[in-house]
Chains A and B, each alone.
Chain A
Amino acid sequence: MSLAIEVRELTKRYETVTALDRISFEVKPGEIMGFLGPNGAGKTTTLRVLTGLLSPTSGSVRIDGLDVEAQSLEIRRRIGYLPENVSLYPELRVQEYLAYRARIKGVPRAQRRSRLDEALQRCALGDVRRRLIGRLSKGYRQRVGLADCLIGHPSILILDEPTVGLDPHQIRQTRELIRSLGQTTTILLSTHILPEVEMICQRVAIIDRGVIVAVDTPENLRKRLTGSQVVHVELRGAEGVIEQALAQLKSIQGLQTDARVPLEEVFIRLTTKEE
């Protein structure tokens, strides 16, 4: 079976800067791969090369076995790309925009309606389908961008910082959506948020200043650094009881307890509407 994404010795040089320096990595079909790195490390540049928006200085990039430069159009038919700052036409209504995108992505006329409904439903956009995109909040716009990615039924999703600028609710929803999409689709997702990678991705490539510094599973990467495994356990109950129970686990090295509830959890509890 051919690899979903295969990047070999990819280099991208601008006049004075080398944005990517001979990077190589691959993504297997069906995998959710994280692309992790600080801002400015070259994540977006790589993703732009993958989608055919930028041409590489040297090296080869294959998607589904197709060459990214020679067979760009065919590749673009197979990928869904969510750019970092989702830009949409503000004067269109949500369903109008998605119907247009479905059309230029070559969705057959007979299927457009059902694809549109499916994308709206998956991205929870049903109640804003008739709203103007320009009037939507950032979170909704992000989801319209995601719905656009899905509508062509791509075999590969390339998501550039999909949760940036969202509130914790939306982040959680987006992550859940990505995880559920990952069951049927290959996903490459860039981020600079570590927990995100742990929660969603099966494998991670870490990039720093244009060089890939590691490619592995999140657990292995952690092991490599700490020499042992760290397990986070969240316990609920009276503090005394928990302390007693933990005291019996003295054999575990480096046991640390933190009685605080994570702030994110508090926020989500307080602001979730009862349904």
Chain B
Amino acid sequence: MSNLLALTGREWKAVWYSPIAYVVGASFLLLQGWVFWLLVVVLNDPRVDPTWRMSQFFFGGTFFYWLSCLMLAPLLTMRTFSEEKRTGTIEVLLSAPVSDWQVAASKFLGAWLSYCALWGTTLVFFLILRLHTALDWGPVVSGYVGTWLLGAVLVSVGTLSSSLTRNQVIAAVVGFVLMLLLFSVGFLDAFVADQEARRTVEYLSLLDHFRDFARGVIDTRPVVFYLSVTAAALFLTIRTIAHPRWRAS
């Protein structure tokens, strides 16, 4: 446990000691601020349905949301393993008495916590909104929970792809494509004729999950789905580290 904390602390620092995090973070906040402002303008329009809420658009309701998540995760995870493999520090790390799962988990946690922290800063927008209008906090909370859970899936996939290569750009590209595939599987539901298969595809649809999260519903099915995908990606990452040929390179 102490090892995991030390390793995770190191990963967290590695993110925030690098200028990449600040460029990514600033761009992310600029984009989110812009989206929020747009939504405030739209929702203030008298022609708009008055039952519409900020949270149902801010979380998963716009194309900006998905773009941000799908960009943030590869950018935060691409260096995790690739950089250490390229510079050779991975050899120093793995010759220390740390287990493979601790290494994989700490890489994941460092990046995931950074992802959560970046999203966490957008809470300021809601606080500002609260100053001017009544706000139902339920959907906001479930929106963040959904976002962080989704983040766990994306970050674990990104970590896995980083463990496969010593090149950060390749890690980011492969990670991004895998995440995009995962995101778009749900689009197929309209084209699947078989009832059972269609239900399965719907179950995998990230967009559908977010319709729930953003309305204040935390359904256990997507939660279990997200946690299982995360666990599977981390398991594969551990296997990749343990592979002897991987260690040889």
- By a beta-carbon cutoff of 8 Å, the part of chain A in contact with chain B is 14, 48, 51-55, 73-74, 76-77, 79, 81, 83, 85-89, 91-92, 100-101, 103-106, 145, 148
Contacts and interface: CB of A to CB of B under 8 A. Distances in A.
B52 interface: no
Contacts of B87: 87
Contacts, number: 70
A148 B96 CA distance: 10
Interface of B: 2-3, 6-7, 9-10, 13-14, 17-18, 87-89, 91-92, 94-99, 244, 247-248
A76 B6 contact: no
A189 B150 CA distance: 49
A83 B92 contact: yes
Given A73-B97, A104-B98, A87 B92 contact: yes
A233 B6 CA distance: 53
Contacts of B89: 87-89
Majority SS of interface residues in chain B? helix
B17 A106 contact: no
Contacts of B14: 89, 91
Contact of B244 (A51, A55, A88): A55
A83 B88 contact: yes
A106 B3 CA distance: 8
A232 to B, nearest CB: 37
A77 B3 CA distance: 13
B12 to A, nearest CB: 12
A87 B97 contact: no
B98 A87 contact: no
Given A54-B247, A85-B88, A91-B18, A77 B97 contact: yes
B97 A76 contact: yes
Contacts of A48: 91, 247-248
Contacts of A73: 97, 99
Nearest to A51: B95
A100 B99 CA distance: 16
Given A87-B87, A105-B96, 13 more contacts: A53-B248, A54-B244, A77-B97, A81-B95, A83-B91, A83-B95, A87-B88, A91-B17, A103-B3, A106-B2, A106-B3, A145-B92, A148-B92
Specify which of A14, A77, A100, A145 lies most central, judged by the most chain B CB atoms within 10 Å of its CB: A100
Contacts of B88: 83, 85, 87
A100 B95 contact: no
21 contacts: A48-B247, A51-B95, A54-B248, A76-B98, A87-B89, A87-B91, A87-B92, A88-B89, A89-B89, A91-B13, A91-B17, A100-B6, A100-B10, A103-B2, A103-B6, A104-B7, A104-B96, A104-B97, A105-B96, A105-B97, A148-B92
Nearest to B99: A73
For the complex of A and B, the 7 pairs showing the least CB-CB separation, nearest first, are: A87-B88, A76-B97, A103-B6, A77-B97, A91-B17, A81-B95, A55-B244
A66 B18 CA distance: 40
A14 B249 CA distance: 11
B5 to A, nearest CB: 9
B96 A101 contact: yes
A73 B94 CA distance: 10
Nearest to A45: B248
Nearest to B248: A54
B11 to A, nearest CB: 11
Contacts of B6: 100, 103-104
A216 to B, nearest CB: 29
A52 B10 contact: no
B218 to A, nearest CB: 36
Nearest to A132: B17
Given A73-B99, A85-B88, A91-B14, A104 B244 contact: no
A103 B6 CA distance: 7
A53 B94 contact: yes
